[in-house]
Structure 1
Amino acid sequence: AAELSVVRSSLEEGGFKNPVVVHFGSDSEVLIRLQGQPESGLSDQVMTVLRVANPAVELRRIEFVGPQIGEELRDDGGLGMLAALAVVMLYVAIRFQYKFSIAAVCALVHDVIITLGFFSLFGVEFDLTVLAAVLAVIGYSLNDTIVVSDRIRENFRLLRVAEASEVINESLTQTLGRTIITSLTTLLVLFALFFIGGELIHNFSIALIVGVAVGTYSSIYVAANILLAMDISREDLMPTEKEGVEFDGLP
């Protein structure tokens, strides 16, 4: 079996900075990922370094992800996120009311921007696994937002004399315990992925950790406050009937 620590240290001693080394397939096969521009003879340089420790090393395959593929990833990923947000907005508008859909989408955009901003601020590589994590964050945050929205709608029906701010505050109080417990248990799994899952999914784990933390915050503070800013009211959810309308059809 190939020792990952030995391979990694050999590459670092050979002048390759921050190599990502993980098992690929079996324990005897290793995937090596290097950053930077491709150079002629790069594979020969890598093999020369590795054969110092193990002369029997074989090169099976080499791939290069260039700027054109990076641009395609950016464009396709952006379109995917826009499509997801559009479907979310349509679903929430049908399921609840258009003000809820605007609040939910604003909260999701807030989550995506902060997650991507974290990667940009700290210079973490953005790849397909991170894109998948961002889409997962959208789904997770939406689930939390829908739970809160459903409780707000129910409390508007139950608390008939309360103001909108009181209804929303009571709804957040009722769902706060569930939201925190769900987020904490999810974060425990994500931290396990980060520390035990290996280098290949580090960025995936980081994106989910940041996204879940921010999504928990946004479902409580962002979406609810946007509803208040749009003057959500009981009439938006339960339009009042005009007095005497039940007698209009009588002779």
Structure 2
Amino acid sequence: MSDSKVINFMGRRKLAAIFSTILLVASVTALAVKGLSFGLDFTGGTLIELHYPQTADLNGIRADLKNQGYPSAVVANFGSDQDVVIRIQSDGEKVGDTIVESLKGAYQGDGTVVRKRIEYVGSQVGEEFMNDGGLGMLFALAVVMIYVALRFQFKFSVGAVAALAHDVLIVLGFFAITEMDFDLTVLAAVLAVIGYSLNDTIVVSDRIRENFRRVRKTESFDIINISLTQTLGRTLITSLTTLLVLLALFFVGGELIHNFALALILGVVVGTYSSIYVAANVLLLMGISKEDLIVIEKEGEDQEMLQP
């Protein structure tokens, strides 16, 4: 690949570092000051599923719940426009029965509203979900670091984990700033972001390692630029096709997975950026060189290979 075709990604690494620092400071500050607005899965509450004989009036149901003292209740269709799921933060199991009877009485159409299920999540169970989710993310980052260190080299593992931590903090910071509900579906999206970002980072790291051993140029700066340019097409195609699916989920997937899709969209965008500018930038800061990737041959290995 000639120099004229190589994109100078690392020439803008300082601007990228400033941009990432601003995002990270804003995210960490929001998490420290405001914290996450945990959903029913973590705080505890009641989930109600109802079947209406006709198309359910979601706005009317929300108004009825607001009059009963539940202005933050989540009301959405579940499977069809006649099935409704309601999520309410509550402190008791009997709240669900009271709400169902009230909604049945408020319904003025033909037929009867049918209660399909009522589930109550206690605050202790919600706290357990929260702790398990946090440990799951830390475990995922630790496993990633070990895997990349064994597969490539220690400096690559530091860059990969830095990129993953960068992505996770920005997604969490976004939810802290916007005060959107953070529930188990969003936590699943964050873990999926770790997997997506790691996959992209592995592809870039593999090409960097290959070029360090193959390209005659000795400057790490140039080799990383060549590697990022070579993987750019694959990175963009993967990101765009993934975003098309996520945008479809975001706009037509319904309220229940709205936050899930939004977290993944943000994660894919930030993950694509971090695989180029965070992981590679960390490699340069740590002084990656050809010597780090030299395969050490065991003494006498060549003689053993020559023997019949």
TM-score by length of 1: 0.86
Match of 2:225 in 1: 169
> What's the counterpart of residue 88 of structure 2?
34
CA contact (8 A) 1:4 1:23 kept: no
- Structure 1: distance between partners of 2:217 and 2:80: 66
- Does residue 101 of structure 2 align to residue 47 of structure 1? yes
Partner of 2:191: 135
Contact kept, 8 Å, 1:51 with 1:57, in 2: the verdict is: no
Query: Counterpart of 1:61 in 2: which secondary structure?
Result: strand
User: Once the two structures are aligned, what percentage of the paired residues are identical?
Assistant: 61
In structure 1, what residue type is equivalent to 2:185?
A: T
Q: CA deviation at 1:36?
A: 5.7
Matched, 1:11 2:67: no
Q: Alpha carbons of 1:128 and 1:161: their partners in 2 closer, same or farther (altered >3 Å)?
A: same
The alpha carbon displacement at 1:73 in A equals: 1.8
Distance 1:8 1:50, change over 3 A: farther
1:98-177 equivalent positions in 2, closer than 5 A: 98-177=154-233
SS of the residue corresponding to residue 63 of structure 1 reads: strand
Q: Is the 8 Å Cα contact of residues 104 and 112 (structure 2) preserved in structure 1?
A: no
Identify the structure with the greater strand proportion: 2
> Deviation at 1:49?
3.4
State whether structure 2 residue 230 is matched by structure 1 residue 179: no
CA deviation after TM superposition for structure 1 residue 231, in Å: 0.3
8 Å CA contact retained: 2:217, 2:223: no
Q: 1:240 to 1:92 in 2, by over 3 A?
A: closer
Q: Is the 8 A contact 2:155 2:286 kept in 1?
A: yes
Counterpart residue type for residue 53 of structure 1: Y
Match of 1:193 in 2: 249
Match of 1:220 in 2: 276
| Cα contact 1:47–1:59 (8 A) shared by 2 | no
Match for 1:51: what amino acid? G
SS in 2 for 1:64: strand
Secondary structure of the 2:228 match is: helix
- Answer whether contact 1:111 1:218 (CA < 8 A) is retained: yes
Residue identity matched to 1:139: G
Note the C-alpha offset of 1:157: 1.4
Q: Distance in 2 between matches of 1:37 and 1:209?
A: 34
- On the 8 A contact 2:77/2:254 being kept in 1, the answer is no
Q: Are 1:232 and 2:288 counterparts? A: yes
Structure 1 41/235 Cα, relative in aligned 2: closer, same or farther at 3 Å?
A: closer
Worse-matched range after superposition: 159-168 or 50-59: 50-59
| Change in 2 beyond 3 A, CA 1:105/1:18 | same
Give the Cα–Cα distance (whole angstroms) in 2 for the partners of residues 18 and 188 of structure 1.
31
Shift of 1:4: 5.8
Aligned-partner Cα distance in 2 for 1:109–1:37: 35
Q: CA deviation at 1:39?
A: 9.1
> For residue 12 of structure 1, what is the amino acid of its counterpart?
A
In angstroms, what is the RMSD of aligned CA positions?
2.6
Q: SS of 2:119's equivalent?
A: coil
1: CA distance, partners of 2:55 / 2:133: 32
Does residue 209 (structure 1) correspond to residue 260 (structure 2)? The answer is no
Asked if the contact 1:103–1:227 (Cα under 8 Å) also holds between the matched residues in 2, the reply is yes
RCO higher in structure (CA 8 A, sep ≥6): 2
| 1:68-87 correspondence runs (5 A) | 68-87=124-143
Q: Which runs of 5+ in 2 are unaligned?
A: 1-50, 304-308
